[in-house]
Structure formats: structure tokens, C-alpha cells
Amino acid sequence: MRKAIQLFLCLLAVASLIVTGVAFYQIVLASTIHGAPVKFIDATAGPYSIKLALYNDPINAGDAIPFNIAVAPGTRGPLTYSVTASPGFGVPGSLAQGDVNPQQSTQYGVPGSITFVTRGPWTLNIVIHGPAGQGTAAIPITAVAPPAMPGWLAWNIGLLPVYGLLIFWVVQTRRKAVRSSEREKAERPVPAETMKGVS
Amino acid sequence: MANVAGSLPDVVAGQAAKSVRGLARLRLITGYVLMLVSLVGLFGADWDIQWHAVIGRDRTFTPPHDMILASIGLAGIVALVSILVETRWAARTSELRRYGTDFLGILHSSLGSYLVGFGAVCSAVAFPLDTYWHSLYGVDVSLWAPFHTMIYMGGVLSTFGIIYMLLSAAHLAQEQQDRKTALFSYAGVVALLGMLLSKFSTFLTPAISGHALPLASLSVSLFPFLLALAAVFVCVLAARLLPWTGAATMAVVVYLLVWLLVSAFVHPMMTLLVQVEHQTYLARASRIGSNIVAMLGQTPFLLLLSLSIDGVAWLGRRGKWTLSRLKKWVFTASTISMFFVAGLTLVQIALSLRTGQSSGGGAGGHIGLAFLLALILTIPGSLIGGWLSLAISDTLQTLRR
């Protein structure tokens, strides 16, 4: 019985860690390891015409979302980029800062990534500085989330360490009681009548 | 020949003693490494709460999150390595098996290592789940959200694991009359109890603002109840587990040192990182001001509680009180002192926030009554905390693994 519980706990821990690893992959590595873009958005940032390439559609809230920004051919001079996302009305989010790597360039433009923390409408603000001046493009984006987990289930999962600790203490207390009674039995003097039989 | 036969058991016993001493030292070193790792997580968590309060949450891998994740990952790795090392030692010296706990018939290690591992797995699993929860409900999710609780309680579980490990090291060292190892092990337990109190106090922050008990037209703060529960639990645990006079006060002093360290760490790190990452403060940041949100519930008044518990323990030792009499007086002293500690803390928080709302005040001019009711809740809080710590310390003292 004890071994079966231990085996179950061990398998559960391994399975949970594998699922966690996959989730972390989605959150982090998916922004650098991905296939071809699945969606292109044309926009204008002041004097610059840009094409935004997205690798996800729909866009999952919470994941690092990779993108590329390509400026129309013929634009001269070095460009610098700044990408932020501001939450739409009623979205409980804060300003999100994106990462852009202007040193790298792919066939789809300069790569970058950003996280839309919460589901709902967002505005992706792309600011470009260059010899032709500064321009800002505001691109509306909607982030989606998986279906909501029921509160009772979430709380029961969330309280697993507390349940674990309580079960552990209950088991320890019972084991302590068993040990104490065993010790008491061992220390109890043998009755005289029993001793007569022995001699 | 007879000489050789006579000395052989002595040699074997000597080697076993050496191995047991080595085991105690291994547990001591592992415990201290895990304690440092846990401290990194504690700083990360306090910094993160402040980050959420004044900046928001713009991605999963913010620097405070990185600190928490590093702490979780390192705790898991160190626990695993310690389990593997102890298993190897137990395979070589069968004598050591009785000082460890068997897992699946393959692993033999201290009970504490398994607890640390379980805590680390829980916290690691909770991290992506927390990202999912934020994707549903946004950045304003309370600290008392399901997966924040899971990350936090995973950390608490790990802290208990380290306490088990160091207590086991202390007990083994005492058996071998290795005083230095025993001393450092007990000192580690004091430090961990202080950190545990700090973690609990941080976790109580939502009870200061918002989460209250609705009672007719009153809104009674749960903070005094929870503070009493956590503080009495930790202080009584310190007084019961450690063979030193003043153990509870030592734990509270460590808790105050952690408080000072976090105070010195969070503000400069926030300022630095806001500049480096070109972040902007949320509108509510001006209302929060210079408060470190995670530490609103932390107070030096807890010294009053620890001193009263230590005082009773000292009197009990001097007067050779029976255990039941000692327990009765510890309960009485902790309940009375917690009543004052909670009252003073609520006033302190109200002054700190410069608003009457946080003191558990109710609507319609019933602030005084709500305040009194909140303070009365310290009585069940103290009793439950004391009872829990007595039950747990009893098992901890008996099962020395």
C-alpha cells in the first residue's frame, strides 16, 4: 500500500514536470522556435510603411508572441524600433514591453516578441526612429485565452501543497502514536504470574 | 586472536559513528544551501508583489519571476542531489538506513529532502498555471489566487522540509556528541523559522485590504486572526523544537532582519529596473508611495509575543512545571500578547496607509466595533496556531529522520 502511494506520487510528479516543461516551452521558446508566419498586417508608422508578420493566429494571452517587422523596400538609413502593447478598454492589464532585435534580420524583417498578459483587445504600438523621422503604428490585436477552469477545481489544485502537508502531518502523528504505544509495551514490567510459568 | 575478535565490533561501530557524523554534516550543509536558495525565493517573491502593485505584469519572465523560478529550480535540484548522495551512502553503509526514509525501495534519504522536492514540484507546476490564470483574469489578480497560493505554499512546504533536514542533522550530531554540527543545525532552524514567519506575513497582505468577514453591516478584518495563527504557530514551534532559552525571540529577530534586508533590497531594485527596462508606473503607484506592499503586514510588535512565550517557557523550566501546566500558560500568554500585537499592528498599518479602510473598519461609523471584533478573532487564531504547533513539534521530536 505504502509503495503504491509512493509510486503514484512519483509518476504524478514526473507527469506534472513534463506538462510544466511543455507549458514553459509555449511561454518562452515558442518565440524563437517557430515555422513560417501565418498572418501579415500592413500598417503605416509615420513616413514608414511596414508589414507585421505574426506566427500565431489566434494569439494566445500569456505566451511570448513572435513577430517580424518589415519596412517597405527602399527605406534608407538605420532604423530603431520600440514595441509596446497597451490594453484596451476594460482589459485588466498593464503596458507590455516588447523585445525587438534590430541586429538580426530575416526575410520577413526584424524579429521580436511580446506577451499579451490577458485576453481581450490590445493595441500594438510600433514606434520607428530613422533618418525620415519618427513614426508610430497602432495595430489592434485581440488576445484569446483557453476556457476558464472552474474556481473550485483551481482552488483544489492550488491547495495541493497544503493538502500534502496536512496528510503528511496526520500520517506522522499516527506513526508517532504507534511508536509510543510499542515503546510503552516494551517498557511495561512482565506480571509475576507469567514469570512463574517461565521459571 | 581474541584481541582481534574483540576489537572488530569496535572498529565497525567506530566506522558507523563516523558515517553517522558524516550524514549529519551532509544534512547540515544541504540544509544551509537550501536555506540560501529559499532566501533568494523570498526576496524574489517580495519584489514581485511590489512589481505587480506598481508596474503590473508585462510578461512571464520578469526579473523577480526569474529569481523565484531560480529558487524553485535550485531547491529541486539540490534536494534531488542530496537524495541520490544519501542513497549511495546508505547502500555502502547499511547502518545509515535507519536514519533515512525509504522511497519505492530504491531511495533512502532524510524526510526533509522529499518534502523539499515535493514543494519544488508544486511551485514549478503552479508557475505556468499562474500564467494561465493571469491570461484569464488580468494583472490585478490577488495574492490569494489559486496558483499564487500553490507557488507560495510549495515554498512553505520546502521550508518545512529544510527544517526537518536540519533538525535531523542536529539530532544525529547530538547522538555523536558533535556539538558544532548540532549548534549550526539548530541555528539554521532558528533562521528558517524566522523566514517562515516572513513568508506567512507576506501571504497575509491581502487580508489587510479587501478580504474581510462580512458581519451584518460590519466588515471585520481577518488579518488579526491570520496573524495570530501564523505568529503563534511559528513562535511556539521555535520554543518547542529548540533546546535554547529565548528561541522564539531569536526566530522573530531573524524575521526582523529579513524585513530589513528586503526593505534595503526592493526599493533600489525597483528604481534600477524601471530605468533599465523603460517601464512606467501604474497610477496607483503614487497612492502606494514608499510602502513595500509585501511587508505591510510585518511588524516588530511580534517581539512582544515571542518574549511572552519565551518568558513562560523560562519560568516553566525554572519552576519545573508539568507539561500540561506549561502548555496552558503558553496558550494564555500567547493569546493575551497577540491581542495587543494585532491591535498595535492594525493602528500601525492604518497610520502607514493614512486611511481608515485598512484597519478593518466597517461602514456607518462602526469602525470601533469592527476593530474590536477583529481583535477578538486573535483568540481562536492563537489557540489554533498553538495547538497546531504542539501537534507538529511532538511528531518532529519523536521521528528523528
Residue B244 sits in the same domain as residue B330: yes
Average pLDDT, chain A: 86
Test A117 with B136 for CB contact under 8 angstroms: no
Last residue of a domain, one of B174, B203, B232: B203
Q: What is the pLDDT of residues B135-187, one digit of tens each?
A: 999 877 788 999 999 999 999 999 999 999 999 999 999 999 999 999 999 99
Residue B25 sits in the same domain as residue B78: yes
Q: What is the pLDDT of residues A4-15, one digit of tens each?
A: 888 888 898 899
Q: Which of A171-175, B114-118, B196-200, B237-241 has the lowest mean pLDDT?
A: A171-175
Instruction: Return d(Cα A194, Cα A182) in angstroms, integer.
Output: 20
Supply A22's cell numbers: 511543455
**Interface confidence (ipTM) of the complex:** 0.84
Residue A47 sits in the same domain as residue A74: yes
Residue B248 sits in the same domain as residue B168: no
Does any domain span residue A63?
Answer: yes
Which letter does DSSP use for residue A35 in this model? -
**The whole model's pTM is what?**
0.88
Test B134 with A62 for CB contact under 8 angstroms: yes
Among A26, A164, A169, the residue with its CB nearest the CB of B395 is A169
Q: Which of A173-182, B115-124, B372-381 has the lowest mean pLDDT?
A: A173-182
Residue A179 sits in the same domain as residue A91: no
Helix axes B223-241, B179-203, angle to 10 degrees: 180
- Mutation pick from A165, A167, A170 vs chain B, by most beta carbons of B within 10 Å, is A165
Q: What is the pLDDT of residues B175-220, one digit of tens each?
A: 999 999 999 999 999 999 999 999 999 999 888 876 777 777 777 8
CA angle B194, B200, B201 (to 5 degrees): 90
Q: What percent of chain B has pLDDT over 70?
A: 90
CB proximity list for B169: less than 8 A, separation 6 or greater: B24, B25, B27, B28, B31, B181, B182, B185
Q: Which of A118-132, B223-237, B275-289 has the lowest mean pLDDT?
A: B275-289
Provide the strand spans (E) within A55-192: 59-60, 64-71, 80-87, 96-97, 99-100, 110-115, 120-130, 133-144
Among A27, A60, A165, the residue with its CB nearest the CB of B157 is A165
Residue B278 sits in the same domain as residue B136: no
Does any domain span residue A198?
Answer: no
Residue A23 sits in the same domain as residue A53: no
Residue A62 sits in the same domain as residue A124: yes
The confidence score (pLDDT) of residue B185 equals 96
Last residue of a domain, one of B188, B203, B218: B203
* Residue A162 at interface with chain B, using a CB cutoff of 8 Å: yes
Residue A132 sits in the same domain as residue A162: no
Domain that holds residue B346: 210-401
Average pLDDT, chain B: 87
Total number of domains constituting chain B: 2
Residue B45 sits in the same domain as residue B94: yes
* Residue B135 at interface with chain A, using a CB cutoff of 8 Å: yes
Test B57 with A117 for CB contact under 8 angstroms: yes
* Residue B350 at interface with chain A, using a CB cutoff of 8 Å: no
Does any domain span residue A16?
Answer: yes
Q: Three-state DSSP class for A63?
A: coil
Does any domain span residue A49?
Answer: yes
Residue A8 sits in the same domain as residue A103: no
Does any domain span residue A70?
Answer: yes
Last residue of a domain, one of B179, B203, B227: B203
Total number of domains constituting chain A: 3
- Residue B356 pLDDT level (bands cut at 50, 70, 90): very low
Residue B196 sits in the same domain as residue B217: no
Return the CATH number at A110: 2.60.40.1930
Phi, psi of B101, rounded to the nearest 5 degrees: -115, 135
Among B132, B137, B399, the residue with its CB nearest the CB of A176 is B399
Residue B383 sits in the same domain as residue B265: yes
Q: What is the pLDDT of residues A124-174, one digit of tens each?
A: 999 999 888 899 999 999 999 999 999 999 999 999 999 998 988 888 888
Residue B177 sits in the same domain as residue B244: no
Residue A47 sits in the same domain as residue A106: yes
Residue A52 sits in the same domain as residue A136: yes
Instruction: Return d(Cα B156, Cα A165) in angstroms, integer.
Output: 9
Residue B154 sits in the same domain as residue B232: no
Does any domain span residue A21?
Answer: yes
* Residue B81 at interface with chain A, using a CB cutoff of 8 Å: no
Q: Which residues of A touch B136 (CB under 8 A)?
A: 61, 118-119, 145, 148
* Contact yes or no for B337/B308 (Cβ under 8 A): yes
- Mutation pick from A142, A152, A157 vs chain B, by most beta carbons of B within 10 Å, is A157
Residue B158 sits in the same domain as residue B270: no
Residue A162 sits in the same domain as residue A99: no
Does any domain span residue A178?
Answer: yes
* Residue B144 at interface with chain A, using a CB cutoff of 8 Å: no
Q: How far is A10 from chain B (nearest CA, A)?
A: 9
Residue B171 sits in the same domain as residue B148: yes
Residue A93 sits in the same domain as residue A166: no
Test A161 with B279 for CB contact under 8 angstroms: no
Residue A54 sits in the same domain as residue A102: yes
Comparing alpha-carbon positions, the chain B residue that sits nearest to A151 is B146
Residue B392 sits in the same domain as residue B328: yes
* Residue A152 at interface with chain B, using a CB cutoff of 8 Å: no
Domain that holds residue A11: 1-31
Does any domain span residue A51?
Answer: yes
Residue A23 sits in the same domain as residue A93: no
